[in-house]
Every structure is written in C-alpha cells, then in structure tokens.
Chains A and B, each alone.
Chain A
Amino acid sequence: MPSHDVLVIGAGLAGQRAALAAAEEGVSVGIISKVHPVRSHSNAAQGGINAALNPGDSWESHAFDTIKGSDYLGDQDAIEIMTREAPEEILHLEHLGVTFHRNEEGKLGTRAFGGASAARTYYVADITGQAIMHVLYEQLMKYSEQIARYEEWFCSSLAIEESGECCGVVTRNVADGSMELFQAKSVILCTGGNGMVWKPSTNALICTGDGIAMAYRAGAKLMDMEMIQYHPTTLAGKGFLITEGARGEGAHLLNAKGERFMEKYAPNKMELASRDVVSRAEQTEINEGRGFPDGTVALDITVVPKKRVHEALREIVLVGRDFAGVDITREPIHIKPGNHYTMGGVKTDVDGRTDIPGLYSAGETACVSVHGGNRLGANSLLDTLIFGKRSGRDAAARAKRIDYAHTSKQVLEDEEAMIADIVAREKGSGRRISEIKLELGQTMDAKVAVFRDEAGITEALETVRRLKEEAKTAYIDDHGSVFNQDLIAAIELGYMLDNAECTCVAALERKESRGAQYRTDFPERNDEDWLKHIDLERTDDGPEISYSEVTITQWEPQERTY
C-alpha cells in the first residue's frame, strides 16, 4: 500500500501550495490529482491576487473590505490571518519566479478590483492564476524527490479508521483502472468548487465538488453551502468568464438603453461594487426589461485605452474573438451573471483542520470562512495560497507527531464493489448520466441562483432528491479499465448531487438576504436571527442543520453600501 505522511488530494493552487509547504517541513508528501496538475481550474483565475503591500495600504483596510464584502458572514479571525500574511506570500511567489506586472520603477505594480478601497491587486496580465500555478508546478518538478506526484488518479472515498481519524484515500489510476488504497497520517482536500452543479457555469468540467462530497460522506461538517457566487460578467450561453479586471481597468456596464445603470445601485463604487451587488443590479435590469433580447446587458471595454487592453486584458480579447465573435476593443460585449464560485464548503479552522482528525481542507473546497456571503475578486487565489500553506504545515506537524494508523482494506473492497455495480448496469436500465447532469444544472440555475424564494428552492430540492434516486440506476457505455471517463462521470454525478442537496437545504434554511443569498421572500439582512453560519452534517435522511457563531474581532456589522 503506498504511504505518505501527508497526502494532498487535488493539485490546483491550494493543493500544490499545501504539498510544497508540507515538504518544506521535511515529511514525505504525495499529491493526487484527477487531471494533470496544470489542467486544474486555478488556471482560470484571471484578474489577480490581493495583498496590502503598497506603502500607505494596510492589512486592516484589506480585512475590512473583505469583511464588508462578505456581508459580515466571514470569520474575522481567519480574515485577519489571510490579509496579514498576504504580502509575505506575494513576495514568496515573486521570489519563486512569478512574472508579476511591474511599475515603471521595476517594482510590483497593482490594478483596481471590485469591493476594494485601494488598488492592491497584483497580477500577470490576465493570466494570473495560470502564471502562479505553472510556477508552483515548476517547484513540484524541482522537489520531485520529496513530493510524489500521482497525475490522473481519481479519488472515490476517504478512509476513516475506527477511532474516527482519517487515514488515507481510495483512488483509481485513470490510465489503467487499477484501484489503490493510499495510506496517510494527514489528508488535505483541495479539490476546488462545485460549479458543475449549475449550468451554465464559468467553472471547468472537473469542478464537481469531489472533496466537499467526500468529506461530507465521511462525517465532516459543511458550512455556508447556500453561498454560491454568481459572477457579474459571463458570456451568455457558454458561461465563459470575463475578468473583473476589465472593470478594474475602467470598463462600463450598460443596459440596452445605453444607460450606465450602476449609478442607481452603487453610486460610489459603480461597476466596482461587490460582485453580489453588481450581479443583482444586472439581473434586475434584465428582469425589468432593460436588458438585450438575449437576456444580457453589455460590458463596454472600448473606453479602456487599446494599448492597455492588449497589455493587461489580452486573454479576454481572445475570449471575445474566439467564443463570442466580438472585438472587445471596438464594441461592447453581451454579458450576464453566471455561476462562478463556492463560498461555502468543508468547515475548517484557520489551519485547515476539519471536524475529522487527520482530515484537512483548503481553497475553494474549504470554508474557513474568509469569504462569508460574498467573495471579493482576487481574494480566491489568496485564500488558496494562505490556507494551502497553513494546512500543509499543520498536516506535516501532525504527521511528525503520530504513527501510521492501521488502515483497513475494507474501504477499498467497498469502492471496488461500488464501481463493479456501476459498470454492470445494463444499457437502458435507467437514464443516461449526461441527462441527469443536464437536468440538475438547469434546475439549479433556474431556482437557486441570483434571486431565490422558498417555492423555487423547495422545487429544486425535490428535483435533486429525485435525481439522486435516478442516479442509482443510471447506466454507462464504457465497461473498460483504461481511461474510463464514463465511470468517473458517474461517480462525479453522485458528488454533484450531494453538493446540490446541501446547497438547497441551506438556502431554504437561511430566511434572510445576505451576500449571494438573496431571498425575494425575505429581502432584508437580519443580523438578529441570521448573523450565524449554517452547518450541515450527513445523516441517512439528508443533511442535519446546526449553527455556529460568526467570529467578530473588531468590525461590528453595519449597513453595506457601495
């Protein structure tokens, strides 16, 4: 049985950072990813990474912006840690080789971003996530003796020993279909978010909420699962992302009448208000008939100097040209709010520890919570790196303290039986996996999106529970071992349905409007009753609800305007 002191599941920014941090502590590390690490979705983070590093800026200001952005649902102790450690992390990345944009003096330069009171977003053109992730992967290659890479291995379950501690994972080597139980002293889940639960989504096809579901099934608590971010600028239909950096560089939002409508909703910050605020403003314009016939509003980048667009927004020039047939330097592009980010996730402390000893989580999979009800742009990369690093260190410290537990092979046999059952289903015995996925995605996008109400969420929950039953008999075409993507899709569908059920239950429970959760039947924020996290724990009858306090250190909740 392959063994590593620390085993990281997922190799995006959080996972790679966690692996590097653990290896620095001198323990043996394995990193497992269902795709090659550089295919991970951190690539898609275009705009940048926040840090109060400029003279005159302060971590307190960054922290306050983040807390206000979170609609006061973020835990302030965690936000303090993230914003205090941000400058050091940026410099660390720079020293590793990230090609951050420079100002004329040759020092690190910044751009403006939504919800921020200062220009504190560091960036590499509009490929910041990609540029950082490829540099971290360079480091993984450099330290290949300390960090074993399992590229294209898919995890189907956590191994939990009798005492309740996490002691490994069950994996399938995608290339040949062999199953393996990996033993570990600490396991860190960094598998990203669950955007595929919605259709369309800006997320990649791999973002199926694997880690969230695996932790939930193993008994870990989930938190803030109702908080799903809709990004204000996505391409209609395909859901592709247009970076907030475009608005950071000065682009305008216009309705079909050509009005710069953000004047009505956020007169001070205009297009650079928090994402939930901008998405609701756009959706209101569209719902009230001031959008375009294709259900969109327009993003006008032509007001940004052309040279600057090519230097700083080249990726979206290509996205506009290749995916919308629009030259963004010459004409406005049609956009709408689209599913983008999972603020909630596996409940962790500031060192990435979950409720299950030995199980950690970081990045979009985890909910520390630094994003609360709404994540600020350019805080997600920061979250992955800071809490990836902290989880890696703590997981390594734990590994040094303890011995390997006895890991029963039972879980491996269970998973092999589960897979054999899926493969054995006869064609026509049920629905196709892809049909169920489509119905799930469309239902969630219609009922659990920018505006929600009890009737809609209830309907979605009922649909999800029906689909869960249907998934049990859904069949696949591929019965082979080598690159059986059909089988993996069937297992991922199970993960997605668990994620969806939890989001519906939490969205139904929170009877107020806060951050990304806007209930038309409860349109006000209600601090008295709902300034608290909703935690969910798995039972045979579905998620069981409990509450936990929001940590407030020095910023009392106040009215939120932009």
Chain B
Amino acid sequence: MADYTIKVRRFQPESGEGPYWEEFNVDLDPSLSVLDGLLQAKDREDGSLAVRCSCRAAICGSCGMKINGQSGLGCKTQIGEAQELADKQASATGKGGEGNSIVIEPMGNMPVIKDLVTDMESTHWTKIRRVTPWLLPHGEPPEREYIVEPESMIDITQSMACIQCGACVSSCLSMEADHEFIGPAALAKAYRFVGDPRDAETHERLHDLADDPHGIYDCTHCFSCIDACPKGVAPMDQIMRLRRKAGEVGIEDPNSGHDHEIAFVKIIEKKGTLDESLLLQESFAPGIKGKLKPNKRAIREMLGSIPTAIRGIKTGKMRSLHKLIPGVHPKLPDQDDVKTIFAHAEEHSEEFNLYIKGEEGELAEDDVEKGIERSTDPDTPQEVKNG
C-alpha cells in the first residue's frame, strides 16, 4: 500500500460553475491502476465523480483519459508508474520532490460532458462512420468461407485490435489544428477494410480517403497516436499503409510525401549519406541523377519553396548552403556495408506487425541473438525499409 494524491480536472455541468481541480488522497498498491485510484475516491469520498469504466483490463476501451498530460487508459496505467512520471515532470520543471499529484484530465479533442466523461459520439464515432466502416464485398458470398492469404488476416487483425477508446484521437496534434481531420482511429479502421482481401471497394475507399482534404494526407507523422494507443494498433502506421496503397493504385500524393521517402532511400543507397542537393529534386521530379525531368507541378513546387528556403537562410535554419550545390557533397568512402544493409532489408522486407513479431523489446533482443542488423527494427519507418 502507498499513498497517492490524484488531482482531477472536474466539471459538473449542472452546477453553473466552470471546470475546477480537486485533489483526492487514495491508498493502494503501486501495481494497481490509476482507474483503481479513481474508483477508490469515488467509492469512499465522492460518488458524483464521473468516469466511464467497465472491464478494468484494457479491453472495453471505456476509460480513456489524460494522465500527467498523456492520453491512455486509466485501467492500464499503474498508479506507481503514474507517480514516477508526475515526479519526473515536476523535477523537469524545477519543482522537484516526491509525491507530486498525479494529474488526471478528460481526453482532448472532444467536448467534456461531466468530469472525465467526454462526448465521443460527436467526434470519435462520427468520424468512424465517415469511413464507411463495414465490409463491402461484391456478389454473393461463397458457399464456404472466403479463401484468403493467412497473413492478410493477421495483418488487419492489428487494426481489429482497436478498442475504440479514443486515446489516439485525444492525443492527435493534427486534429487539434484541423478538427475535421478524419483522425487516427477512423483511418486505422479504414485500413482494416482496405487491407481486407474480401472487400471489393478498395479503390473507391482509397480515392475517398485521399481526395478528402482532411483525409490520409492530413496526418503530420508525429507519432503521438502510436504513443497513446494502449493496444499496439499503431494508427499512424495504418495511415502510412493507406498512403502506400494509394500510391500503388496511382493516386498522387499532394505533399509528394511518398516520393520524398523514396528519394531518401535512393540517395543513401547510392551515396551512403544524404546528399541534400539531390533531395528536393528527387522528391519532386524523381529521375536519374543529372537527368532532371521536371514536370510542371515539380517546377511550381520548387519555385514555391524558394521563400521558405530564404526564410530558412535568414533564421539560420539552413546553414550548410554549399551542400546544396550538386556534386559538393562527399560520398561515403566504403559503400559496401551500406549495400549489404540494403540487400538484407530487401531480402527480409516484411510488414512490422505485433501479431507476427511480438513486442518491440522482444524483437530487438531476438535480433541481437541472431546477430542480424536491426533492419527490421520497429523504429525504422516502414516506408524506408519497404521503399
């Protein structure tokens, strides 16, 4: 048993008052959860403290909340760990000491109904319904089951593992800037159908999600949703898979993001290091070095980037100007190792999926045991290793 102070962001809509903070003292084993702490406060002190909860085991998705500013599930966050984080945060801001309050707030990017209860219908569920979230097969179903690749089912099981808790939505920085962004949960749900070989509307789905200005290209690749997700769904990865599939069916990425990724890989493969003078050109007009074949859009984009570049120079963010001159950037002297890494990655190219590979730590350790390069490291963005 240990004593904790939980500081809860409260809002009682019938009181006529605005939101306020209230502290509760609870005593429980450090291995119990933040939700257990809240329920103790509710049971012993104030039954009006509102929090959705049910399973206590991270499978129902009810208790999404922010704990010390981080979105997650109350039932899956051990109160001892939450205390450590609260103390760490306090020392980072110079307050220091131990036994700082564990700060608990309702999820972000959603209206608050009461205390920790948010309105998920108007945000989360409306966006889920936006992606036509049901299977659309063509024709009559077969007499028995659909015959599909075993891996295809395992692949989409990662997005099926989503419990619709909203933690990713709560943490999404893009949605903070653009409320209409379809968002990580709904796009992960969309991948569940796009990746399903039984679905016959893959093209329509991809065009729909790509043409929407608040669709797949609205994600800024910030990883917040991956951090927040309590189930390893990695919503951003699912969004990147959607982008890749969109590229495969000929949908043009308005940000040239996909070409940009390929440009990175290609340049490093050729030179061993990143020759930035080639990056812009390769990203907007992929071609062989020296044979620039710019299309109209590429020229427009490159001219359009000049003001940004000038601002970069003025503010000191672009300092290695000479490196922008083609040919100045040196090659890595021994490129054989680089080629070996690329060859290995090519040979062992596979999707990173928790249902196949296990947890991150597990994977890294196994890699070490086997003595192979970390080319299947989950930290390496997939686009690169598959690019």
B-binding residues in A (CB < 8 A):
35-36, 38-41, 43-44, 91, 94-97, 99-109, 124-125, 127, 130-131, 134-135, 138-139, 141-142, 151, 175, 204-206, 238, 240-241, 306-307, 309-311, 314-315, 317-319, 321-323, 325, 329, 432-434, 476-486, 489
Contact = CB atoms under 8 A, between A and B. Distances in A.
A486 B44 CA distance: 12
B47 A41 contact: no
Nearest to A92: B141
Nearest to B51: A485
A106 B134 contact: no
Contacts of A476: 47
B337 to A, nearest CB: 30
A482 B198 CA distance: 43
**10 closest A-B pairs by CB:** A97-B135, A486-B47, A478-B48, A434-B43, A477-B47, A310-B358, A102-B150, A95-B141, A138-B134, A204-B54
20 contacts: A40-B60, A43-B163, A94-B145, A95-B145, A103-B150, A124-B153, A125-B355, A131-B157, A134-B162, A138-B133, A142-B134, A240-B56, A310-B362, A329-B358, A432-B44, A432-B47, A434-B43, A434-B47, A484-B48, A486-B48
Interface stretch (B19-27, B112-120, B288-296, B302-310): B112-120
Contact of B44 (A130, A238, A434): A434
B153 A141 contact: no
B113 A482 contact: yes
Contact of A317 (B43, B129, B156, B359): B359
B55 to A, nearest CB: 4
A322 B359 CA distance: 13
B249 to A, nearest CB: 21
Given A43-B163, A317-B358, A478-B48, 14 more contacts: A41-B55, A44-B57, A97-B199, A99-B153, A100-B153, A107-B144, A107-B147, A138-B133, A141-B133, A204-B60, A205-B55, A310-B359, A477-B47, A480-B14
B59 A43 contact: yes
A306 B61 CA distance: 27
Contacts of B56: 204-205, 238, 240
A97 B198 contact: yes
A205 B53 contact: yes
B38 to A, nearest CB: 12
Contacts of A323: 31, 57
Contacts of B12: 480
A130 B59 contact: yes
B312 interface: no
A108 B147 CA distance: 8
Contacts of B60: 35, 38-41, 43-44, 204
A125 B355 CA distance: 8
B345 interface: no
Contacts of B161: 125, 127, 130
Contacts of A124: 153, 157, 160
Nearest to A480: B14
Nearest to B354: A314
B149 A106 contact: yes
Given A95-B141, A125-B355, A433-B47, A131 B146 contact: no
Contacts of A131: 157, 160
B26 to A, nearest CB: 13
Contacts of A206: 54
B154 interface: yes
Nearest to B198: A97
Given A106-B150, A139-B134, A38 B48 contact: no
B196 interface: yes
Contact of A125 (B57, B157, B199, B359): B157
B254 interface: no
A97 B358 CA distance: 25
Contact of A35 (B44, B54, B145): B54
B305 to A, nearest CB: 43
Most buried by A among B54, B117, B198, B362: B54
B48 A480 contact: yes
B57 A240 contact: yes
Contact of B358 (A130, A138, A141, A306): A306
A310 B121 CA distance: 34
B114 A482 contact: yes
A325 B145 CA distance: 40
Contacts of A107: 144-145, 147
A332 B59 CA distance: 23
Most buried by B among A40, A130, A309, A477: A130
Given A39-B61, A106-B148, A311 B154 contact: yes
B133 A95 contact: no
A193 B100 CA distance: 40
Interface string B31-48: 100000000001110111
A238 to B, nearest CB: 7
B13 A482 contact: yes
Contacts of B135: 96-97, 135, 138
Most buried by B among A97, A204, A325: A97
Contacts of B55: 39, 41, 43-44, 204-205
